[in-house]
Chains A and B, each alone.
Chain A
Amino acid sequence: GQSLEQPSEVTAVEGAIVQINCTYQTSGFYGLSWYQQHDGGAPTFLSYNALDGLEETGRFSSFLSRSDSYGYLLLQELQMKDSASYFCAVSSTDSTLTFGKGTMLLVSP
Chain B
Amino acid sequence: NAGVTQTPKFQVLKTGQSMTLQCAQDMNHNSMYWYRQDPGMGLRLIYYSASEGTTDKGEVPNGYNVSRLNKREFSLRLESAAPSQTSVYFCASTQLAGGGETQYFGPGTRLLVL
Q: Which residues of A contact B (CB under 8 A)?
A: 8, 30-31, 33, 41-45, 48, 50, 87, 89, 91-102
Contacts and interface: CB of A to CB of B under 8 A. Distances in A.
A37 to B, nearest CB: 9
The B interface is mostly helix, strand or loop, or mixed, namely loop
A3 to B, nearest CB: 11
B90 interface: yes
Nearest to B98: A95
Interface residues of B, number: 25
Contacts of A98: 45, 59
Interface of B: 31, 33, 35, 40-45, 48, 50, 58-59, 90, 97-100, 102-108
Q: Sorted from nearest, which 10 A-B pairs have the closest CB atoms? A: A95-B97, A42-B105, A31-B100, A101-B42, A45-B102, A99-B43, A95-B98, A48-B100, A99-B42, A95-B50
